[in-house]
Amino acid sequence: MIRISNLSKVYTKGRNKVVALQDINLHINKGDIYGIIGLSGAGKSSLIRCINRIEEPTSGDIWVNDINMIDLNPTQLRKARKKIGMIFQSFNLLYSKTVFENIAFPLRLDKTPEKIIKEKVNSLLELVELTDKIHAYPAQLSGGQKQRVGIARALANDPDVLLCDEATSALDPKTTQQILNLLKTINKNFGLTIVVITHEMEVIKEICNRVAILESGRIIEEGNTIDIFSQPGNDITKHFVEQSQELPEEFLKGNVLNLSFMHGTAHEPVISKVVKTFNVDVNILSGKIEFIQEKQIGKLTVEINVEPHKLLDIIKYLEENHVRVEVMKK
Amino acid sequence: MMYWVDVLMLPLWETIYMVFVSVFFTVLFGLPLGIILVITDQEHICPKPVLNAVLSYIINITRSLPFIILMIFIFPFTRLIVGTTIGTTAAIVPLVVASTPFFARIVETSIREVDWGVVEASIAMGASPLQIILKVLIPEAMPSLVLGTTITIINVLGYSAMAGAIGAGGLGDLAVRYGYHRFQTDVMIATIIVLIIFVQVMQSVGNKVAQIINKK
């Protein structure tokens, strides 16, 4: 559906050059909700803007629906953009126009007949549950309502792809949840491919089936969300995955292990078995079970005070039982 | 009472005629000019740095000249267009020349105030530059443009008094002839009162209209 190859973006201001993206390669399948996560300044915004060429890539190719966006002239590009919806962190609605006119805006660009506009806008308003706000102005709406208008507007041209630029970052947790549910519904019902960029791991966990981690303009890890979550491959990824599991230094005295339970092991009493089999004391420091797209991942931080050779046996036993083990401190 | 009406009526009408016809042409030329100033900027929808720099330079030059000097300086141009340099219609030419760059700068500021995010969203929706100008930039900046036009009207009123002093008629001419040459202070005061009322009415109407169309 979307294929990005060797994409680079360099900003030049006077003599200064800032590399925002380098050598990005991505493949997004039809029907994916694809998450791109990174810290501020990692290049997320530039990446998503290169997909519809709101920002001009410095080099590389971007294929959307088997069309290389880079090859298009301005007229063709405008036509291609109509099939790529986009929503924004700051909503970017037209403040001088009503909800109806905002959603009708993309249709009016093509001189769509008034009757069709009316039908389309009304059905979109029903989808985003804002029928009663049809004549309101954006200033009269809450953040969540504004974003729903943004979504309806982005869907007006029946796009194949929806780009979400930090779409929930300005919203409170409850509203974020509603918007994410709406995106999930749209993805399911219309088979719409969605690309999400965010700095919030919760968003990725909630809706994305695949995720890429962006750091200093490079993709450092990419894969199924569930895999990345259970086995983060490097420090930045761990930072996102385990940000809520940091323990104070004084807890990390003995042999501290980080355990990840996945694929059916999350509900097995492995720890209890370890205690019985090896006759050791296991001190649980922290733990939780996370649900990633309806799949469970158990995260447990434990302290086991035994001799090193016995510890190795325990780690071996745990790994045989499909528990991923990471030694934090010996 | 009738005396005042007789004395004031014609100059007032001349002033209103000069101001509104001038403002009409000022908006006609200044609005596109101001929009071009914004969109040809390096970071905007239609980057043309050279054109942008040249326009900006010309505007600055025109705005450097005090109106009374500009008016005399462009007499040949005025004669070319209306055939004379004397009278109310002739004054419209320098008034437009002087206030167009002024208004263009005001338009520029108003259009720049439109949130770039909204422009970006329109680009993402496949809008052409012309559609962005007509359907996004102008409507979104409208309240600010209305206030800017109000300022321009009042500004042109001030210019028109200077034009009056050198043969354009209107309230400026009246004030010079009666208040200055004939020492008729009462006419002077009457002129000032009329001017104050005119400015107050213009500003109130402008504010009201801007308030009504501002949905932000």
The 10s digit of each residue's pLDDT in B33-83 is: 999 999 999 889 999 999 999 999 999 999 999 999 999 999 999 999 999
Residue of A nearest to B141 (CA): A96
Nearest to B128 among A78, A92, A108 (CB): A78
pLDDT of residue A271: 83
Q: For the segment A251-262, what is each residue's pLDDT rounded down to a tens digit?
A: 666 788 888 887
Q: For the segment A280-310, what is each residue's pLDDT rounded down to a tens digit?
A: 888 888 887 777 777 777 888 888 888 888 8
Same domain, A224 and A271: no
Q: Spell out which residues of chain B touch residue A90, defining contact as CB-CB under 8 Å.
A: 115, 117
- Phi/psi of residue A35, each to 5°? -100, 140
Do the domain assignments include residue A99? no
Query: Which neighbouring-strand residues pair with A91?
Result: none
CATH number at residue A55: 3.40.50.300
pLDDT at A249 over 80: no
As a whole number, the mean pLDDT across chain A is 88
**How far away is chain B from the Cα of A212, in angstroms, using its nearest Cα?**
23
pLDDT at A149 over 80: yes
CA A212 – CA A234 distance, rounded (Å): 13
Residue of A nearest to B215 (CA): A96
Do the domain assignments include residue A192? no
pLDDT at A244 over 50: no
Q: For the segment A151-165, what is each residue's pLDDT rounded down to a tens digit?
A: 999 999 999 999 999
pLDDT at A245 over 60: no
Residue where a domain stops, chosen among A241, A267, A293: A241
Q: Residue A295 is part of which domain span?
A: 245-329
Same domain, A279 and A324: yes
pLDDT of residue A330: 45
A137/B contact by beta carbon, under 8 A: yes
Residue of A nearest to B144 (CA): A96
Helices (H), B74-128: 75-82, 88-112, 116-124
Q: For the segment A185-217, what is each residue's pLDDT rounded down to a tens digit?
A: 999 999 999 999 999 888 998 899 999 999 889
Same domain, A287 and A229: no
Q: For the segment B135-183, what is each residue's pLDDT rounded down to a tens digit?
A: 999 999 999 999 999 999 999 999 999 898 888 889 988 888 888 888 8
Same domain, A237 and A268: no
Angle at which helices B88-112 and B2-39 pack, to 10 degrees? 40
Same domain, A216 and A284: no
pLDDT of residue A329: 56
Contacts of A64 (CB under 8 A, 6+ apart): A1, A2, A51, A52, A80, A83, A84, A160, A161
A169/B contact by beta carbon, under 8 A: no
pLDDT of residue A92: 96
Angle at which helices B75-82 and B88-112 pack, to 10 degrees? 110
Could you give the domains of chain B?
Answer: 2-213 (1.10.3720.10)
Nearest to B131 among A84, A96, A109 (CB): A109
pLDDT of residue A251: 67
DSSP letter for B74, please: T
Do the domain assignments include residue A188? no
Q: Do A94 and B120 touch (CB under 8 A)?
A: no
Q: For the segment A71-104, what is each residue's pLDDT rounded down to a tens digit?
A: 999 999 999 999 999 999 999 999 999 999 999 9
More reliable by pLDDT, A326 or B186: B186
As a whole number, mean pLDDT of residues B195-210 equals 95
Q: How many domains does chain A have?
A: 2
Contact A252, A321 (CB under 8 A): no
Instruction: Give the HSE-up count for residue A138: Cα atoms under 13 Å, Cβ half-sphere.
Output: 22
pLDDT band, residue A266 (cuts 50/70/90): low
pLDDT band, residue A322 (cuts 50/70/90): confident
pLDDT at A264 over 70: no
For chain B, give the percent of residues with pLDDT over 90: 77
More reliable by pLDDT, B101 or B6: B101
Same domain, A234 and A251: no
Do the domain assignments include residue A39? yes
Do the domain assignments include residue A58? yes
Same domain, A32 and A62: yes
Same domain, A281 and A303: yes
Residue of A nearest to B131 (CA): A109
CATH number at residue A285: 3.30.70.260
SS3 for B41?
coil
Instruction: Give the HSE-up count for residue A155: Cα atoms under 13 Å, Cβ half-sphere.
Output: 26
CA A303 – CA B166 distance, rounded (Å): 96
CA A63 – CA A29 distance, rounded (Å): 12
Same domain, A249 and A237: no
Q: Spell out which residues of chain B touch residue A94, defining contact as CB-CB under 8 Å.
A: 118, 136, 139-140
pLDDT band, residue A242 (cuts 50/70/90): low
For chain A, give the percent of residues with pLDDT over 70: 93
Q: Do A106 and B120 touch (CB under 8 A)?
A: no
Same domain, A1 and A79: yes
Same domain, A288 and A224: no
A135/B contact by beta carbon, under 8 A: no
A18/B contact by beta carbon, under 8 A: no
Do the domain assignments include residue A140? no
Same domain, A235 and A249: no
Residue where a domain stops, chosen among A241, A271, A304: A241
Instruction: Copy the structure tokens of residue B201.
Output: 């009415």
Residue where a domain stops, chosen among A189, A216, A241: A241
Do the domain assignments include residue A294? yes
Do the domain assignments include residue A148? no
pLDDT at B1 over 70: no
As a whole number, mean pLDDT of residues A56-75 equals 93
- 94-123 in chain B: CB under 8 A from chain A: 115, 117-118, 120-123
- Distance from CA of residue B85 to its chain's centroid? 20
